[in-house]
Amino acid sequence: MNTVDKQYQGFLRKLIMYGKDKEDRTGTGTISYFGETFRHDMSNGFPLLTTKKMAVKTMMTELKWFLKGDTNIKYLVDNNCHIWDGDAYKAYPHKDKLTQKEFINKIKTDWEFARVWGELGPIYGKQWRNWFGYDTNVNPYSVDQISELIKNIKENPSSRRLMVSAWNVGEIDKVVLPPCHYGFQCYVSDGKLSLMWNQRSVDTFLGLPFNIASYGMLLLLLCEETNLKPGELIGSLGDVHLYKNHLEQTHEQIKRDSFKLPTIELSNVDVLNGEFDYEIKDYEYHPTIKAPLSN
Q: Which residues are catalytic?
A: 180
- First-to-last alpha carbon distance for the chain, in angstroms, is 35
Measured CA to CA in angstroms, residue 62 lies from 26, 76, 82 at distances of 22, 7, 9
Q: How far apart are CA 131 and CA 167, in angstroms?
A: 10
Residue 150: how many other CB atoms lie within 10 Å: 19
**How many H helices and E strands in the chain?**
10, 10
Handedness of CA 47, 65, 278, 219 (dihedral sign): negative
Q: How far apart are CA 204 and CA 241, in angstroms?
A: 6
What 8-state DSSP symbol labels residue 119?
A: B
Exposed, middle or buried: residue 134 (CB in 10 Å: 0-12, 13-18, 19+)? Answer: exposed
